[in-house]
Chains A and B, each alone.
Chain A
Amino acid sequence: MAAKMYKIGVLLILLCTGGVFATAQPKTPAPKPAVDAVVPPRERPPRTPPAYPRDVKQTTERSITVDPNVSIKMCVAEGNLKVTGWERNEVRVFVRSGRLPGFKVLEKDASSGKANWLMISHVRAEGTPPGPMSECLAGQDIELDVPLKAKMDLSGRSTETVIDSIRKVNVKTAEGDISIRNIAGGINAITYQGNLIVESSEGSIMLETTSGNILAFGVNPGQIGDLFKARAGSGNVTLQQVEHRQIEASSISGTVNFKGKLLAGGLYGFKTSSGAIRLQVPLKSSFTVKASYGFGVFASEIPLNYTYKNEGEGGKNLQAIVGAGDSNINLTTSNGAISIRKQ
C-alpha cells in the first residue's frame, strides 16, 4: 500500500511539474524593457532664443563719416528696416524703441582715412554679459541713411526690409517681405518666408523665396552677361519688363509669368513642377521655343512653326520657331500648363 502511494505521489509531482512549465509560457511576447523600447532622443541644438529682450527699449540716433563706396554689414533681429541712399558721405542710424546701435570700423580707406568697411551692431551696456544675438540690432523701426554708392550686406531674422537707392544689396532674412528699388549694381535677396519685390534696378539679380511671391519689373542688366534669376517655392514669379538677356525663373507649385520683349540672343528658361508658365510677348517677336511638359499642356496664341512635336504620355515636347528664332526659350513643366500669348 505504501509503495502504491509513493508511486502516485511521484506521478503527481511529475505531471504538476510539466503543467507548471507549460503554464509558465507567456501568452504574448513579453514586452521589452522600457529602456530598450524608448529610442533615445537625438541631441538637438537649443532652440533659437527670443528676438531681443523686450525690456531694452530706447530711441537713439548715431552717425559716422564714411568713404562714399563704403561696404556696410549689419544684422537685424527684429523690426522694420529701411535703408535709403543719400548724397552725403555719412552713415546715419536711427533706432526707435530698440537696442542701442554702434559703429565698428572694420577697415579704413588708405587715402582718405575714412571707413570703407563698416559694421553696424548693437552696443551692449557696460556690465552686460554677451548673449545670443548680442550683435544684432532690434527695434520697432530701424532707419539707415547711407551713401548712394554704398553696398549693404544685411542678414535678418524677422524683418520687413525696404532698401532704396544704393549701389549693391546682399540681403538674407528668415522671414519678412523684402522690397528693393533703384539699385544700380546688383541684388542678391533671399527670404525664406515672405515676398520679394524688385523694381527699377540694374545688375545681376538673384531672388529667392521659399514661401512667397516674387515680383520684378523695370529691371535691366548693368553689364553684358548679367543674369537674372528668380526662384520661388510655392509662390508666383512675375517678371515685367525684365531686360536681362539671360533669365531663369522657376517655381514648384506657383505660376511663372513673363511679360515683356524678348531680346535677340537672349536665353530664357522658365520652369515649374505643377504650376503654369505664361509668357506674354509681342506678336512680332523672334524666338525659338523648346518645351518639355510631361503631363502638362501647351498652347500658343502666336503661330508657331513646329520643328517637331511629340505627344507621348509623360514625354510631351516640342520645338518651334517664330520669326528668325533670335532668342531661345526653354520651358519645362511636369504637370503644368504652358501658354504663349501675344502682348
Chain B
Amino acid sequence: MNGKCIDIGTIQAFLDGETTQDDSLRIGHHVANCDNCARLLAVAEDENSFVFSALDREMNALVPTQRLWSRINESIETEKAGRPFWQNVYSFFAMSVRDRSMMAMAGLLIVFGLLAVLWTVQPALVDRTYVAPTPEVRNAGTTSAPSSSEGTGVSEFTPDPSRIQPIRVSNHSPKKLEEIVRGENQPRPVPTVYYAPGEESYIKTIADLKETVDYRKDEVFSGSSRVDFERDLAVVNDSIKRMQKIVRKNPNNQAARQVLYASYQDKIDLLNTVAQKDELMATIR
C-alpha cells in the first residue's frame, strides 16, 4: 500500500456517498494504487449488495402502500362530493366546537335567539280578552217574560268601561287546552230525545215558519207591535220549554201533553201572523 491505508469506516462512508468530494478523489487515487484497500473496498461493496438485495422486497413493498393511500384519498374526495349539505354543516359545527371563541360566540347567539322566540310566542300562550259584566235584562211591558232561548222582549244594557276587567280565558296549560279542544271536536253521543206523538210535526212546522219570520219580522212589525210580538213569543217559548220538561219526565202525562200541544199551536199561530201581515202589506202596495 502507498502511504497510509484507509480504514473500513471511511470506505463504508465512501460507498454510502457520505464523504466530501475531495475525500472521494483522494480515496479513489489511493484504492487504485493500494491492493489491500482495493480488496477491502470490494468486500465492503459485496456486503452492501447483499444488504440491498435483502431489503429489496421491502423497498418494493412501499409502492403498493402509496397506491393504496392514493385510492383512499380519492375515495374520501368522492364521498365528500356526494355528501348532503347537512352533513357538511354538521362537520362544520363539529370543527367549530373545537374553537373556544367560536363556542362562546355561538352560545351567546343561541341564548339571544331563544329569548327572541320566547318573547314572540309568550302572548299567544295566554290569551287575554275583555268581558263586560253580565247585564240585567229588563222586560218592557206589564207582563214579565221569562227567559227564553229565542228572545225575551227588550233589554237595555249600557257597558261601564271602568268595570271591564281582563280575565284569563283558561288556567289550563296549552297542552291541557289542546286535549280539551281535541276532546270537544270528537263526536259526542247524541242523547235520545223522546217526542210525544205528533210533536215532531209541530217542531218541524215551527222551524219552517221561524226561518221566514226571522227574515221578515223586522220589516213587518213597527216598534211597539214588535215588542208585543217578541213578548208573546217569549211567553209561548217558556210554556213550551216547561211543558216539554214535564212530558220528557212522564210521557204518559196527558194533561201536560195537551198543554204542550196548545203551546205549540199558539206559537204556530203567532208566527203565522208575521206571514199574514206581510202578505197584507204586499197587497196594499
Contacts and interface: CB of A to CB of B under 8 A. Distances in A.
B228 interface: yes
B57 interface: no
Interface in B109-125: 109-110, 112-113, 116-117, 120-121, 123-124
A11 B109 CA distance: 9
Given A253-B235, A294-B259, A10 B120 contact: no
A288 to B, nearest CB: 16
B284 A136 contact: yes
Given A271-B262, A273-B236, A273-B266, A48 B281 contact: yes
Contacts of A47: 219
Contacts of A201: none
Nearest to B145: A253
A22 B266 contact: no
A304 B95 CA distance: 107
Nearest to B282: A45
A191 B262 CA distance: 23
Interface string B23-42: 00000000000000000000
A234 B117 contact: no
Contacts of B259: 292-294, 315, 332-334
A252 B245 CA distance: 20
B69 interface: no
A20 to B, nearest CB: 9
A128 interface: no
A47 B216 CA distance: 11
A311 to B, nearest CB: 10
Given A19-B112, A45-B219, A48-B281, 18 more contacts: A4-B101, A27-B120, A44-B219, A174-B281, A192-B276, A192-B280, A234-B141, A253-B143, A253-B232, A294-B239, A294-B246, A294-B256, A312-B255, A314-B246, A315-B246, A315-B250, A317-B258, A334-B263
22 contacts: A4-B101, A8-B105, A15-B110, A19-B113, A28-B124, A155-B284, A192-B276, A210-B277, A233-B229, A233-B273, A234-B232, A250-B266, A252-B235, A273-B266, A274-B238, A315-B255, A315-B259, A317-B258, A332-B262, A333-B259, A334-B243, A334-B263
Contact of A294 (B95, B116, B242): B242
A81 B250 CA distance: 54
Interface string B225-236: 100110110011
A18 B105 CA distance: 16
Given A7-B102, A192-B273, A292-B258, A234 B143 contact: yes
A112 interface: no
A185 interface: no
Interface string A325-340: 0000000111100000
Interface in A253-280: 253, 271, 273-274
Nearest to B218: A44
Interface string A158-198: 00000000000000111100000000000000101100000
Contacts of A133: 284-285
Given A42-B215, A155-B284, A314 B253 contact: yes
A233 B281 contact: no
Contacts, number: 173
Interface string A276-306: 0000000000000000111100000000000
A157 B281 CA distance: 7
A23 B280 contact: no
Given A174-B277, A174-B284, A314 B116 contact: no
Interface residues of A, number: 62
A77 B284 CA distance: 7
Interface of B: 92, 95-96, 99, 101-102, 105-106, 109-110, 112-113, 116-117, 120-121, 123-124, 141, 143, 215, 219, 222, 224-225, 228-229, 231-232, 235-236, 238-239, 242-243, 245-246, 250, 253-256, 258-259, 262-263, 266, 269-270, 273, 276-277, 280-281, 283-285
A334 B113 contact: no
B285 A334 contact: no
A318 to B, nearest CB: 9
Given A25-B120, A193-B222, A315-B253, A233 B270 contact: yes
A173 B280 CA distance: 8
A178 to B, nearest CB: 14
B238 to A, nearest CB: 8
A151 interface: no
Contacts of A45: 219
A195 to B, nearest CB: 13
B255 A18 contact: no
A172 B243 CA distance: 34
A212 to B, nearest CB: 9
A306 to B, nearest CB: 14
B262 A334 contact: yes
> A-B pairs with the 4 shortest C-beta distances?
A317-B255, A314-B246, A334-B239, A211-B228
Contacts of A19: 112-113, 116-117
Nearest to A157: B284
Contact of A252 (B256, B270, B285): B270
A59 B110 CA distance: 94
B127 to A, nearest CB: 8
Interface in A13-44: 15, 18-19, 22-23, 25, 27-28, 42, 44
Contacts of B92: 7, 10
A295 B273 contact: no
A25 B229 CA distance: 51
Contact of B116 (A22, A231, A250): A22
A323 interface: no
A61 to B, nearest CB: 24
B278 to A, nearest CB: 9
